[in-house]
Structures are given as C-alpha cells and as structure tokens.
Amino acid sequence: MLILAAERAKADVAEAVAPFGIAAPLARALLILDSPTPMREMAQQMACDPSYITGLADQLEADGLITRVPGSDRRIKLLVATERGNALRADLAEAIATKSVLERNLSAERRADLASILTDILGSTGEDLVAPQH
C-alpha cells in the first residue's frame, strides 16, 4: 500500500509538473535547490547515486534553471538556481501542493500525522511532504 500510494503521489507530481515542460526528477531536484548545494550533497538528499546528479544537472543547466559554481575546494561544484530556476521552483511547489493526492484526499491534520510517521520510517527529520529536508 505504501508503495501504491507513493506511485500515485509520484504520478500526481509528474502530472502537476508536466505543464511546465519539466520531467519529475528534474522538478524534484529543482525543489531541493533553494540554496546552493554541492552535487554530492544533492545525491544524498535525493538518495541516489552521484553519477545520476550529473545528468540532472546537465539538463537543468541546459534549460537555464541552474548553474554550476565551483566551491572553495575546487573539486566541489555547487548547484545554484538561476532567477528563472527560482521562479519555476515557486510555481512547481504551488502546482504540486494543489494537485497532489496528499492535498486532495487528506486533511491538514492527517498530513501532519503522515509526516510524523514517515519521519519515523526514514529515521530522520523532515518537515515537507513533497520536497525533502532543506
């Protein structure tokens, strides 16, 4: 059931996000980028392999939504949202919030309960149901 619900939520996100001409994983990445983030850290936050971030970053960069900025340690590249990227991020967050099954089928109170349970499952803290930890 948990998996079914997540698939449903995922499909909702994909649908909510499609009108903006962006794929779900790119949207997910962009939503995390409210502050400059090393690629390695992005991978941890998205619970995926770092090599995958390279591809996401390539596409987001090609779309003019982010840029790669070298850090003080010059092995590190910070992903930072452009002005367009930030604007889109706000739009995406709103579209997802209003279209998601979570918003549609759950009261605010139930959503809070869910967030609490999911926090236990993940064994870490989180506050937002759609985008992970900031």
Q: Looking at residue 37, what DSSP letter applies?
A: E
User: Quick check: helix, strand or coil at residue 128?
Assistant: coil
- The one among 20, 68, 105, 134 contacting its own copies by CB under 8 A: 105
Looking at residues 67 to 96 of the shown chain, list those that interact with DNA (rule: CB under 7 A): 68, 71, 73-78
- The one among 27, 29, 43, 102 contacting its own copies by CB under 8 A: 102
Looking at residues 58 to 97 of the shown chain, list those that interact with its own copies (rule: CB under 8 A): none
Report the partner that residue 77 touches, choosing among DNA, its own copies, none (CB closer than 5 to 8 A by kind).
DNA
Tell me if 108 contacts its own copies by CB under 8 A.
no
Q: What amino acid is encoded at 22 in this protein? A: I
Could you count the other beta carbons within 10 Å of the beta carbon of residue 131?
21
Q: What Rg, from alpha-carbon coordinates, does the chain have? A: 15
Could you count the other beta carbons within 10 Å of the beta carbon of residue 113?
12
Could you count the other beta carbons within 10 Å of the beta carbon of residue 122?
12
- Rule CB under 8 A: which residues touch its own copies? 1-10, 13, 28, 47, 101-102, 105-106, 110, 113-115, 117-123, 126, 128-130, 132
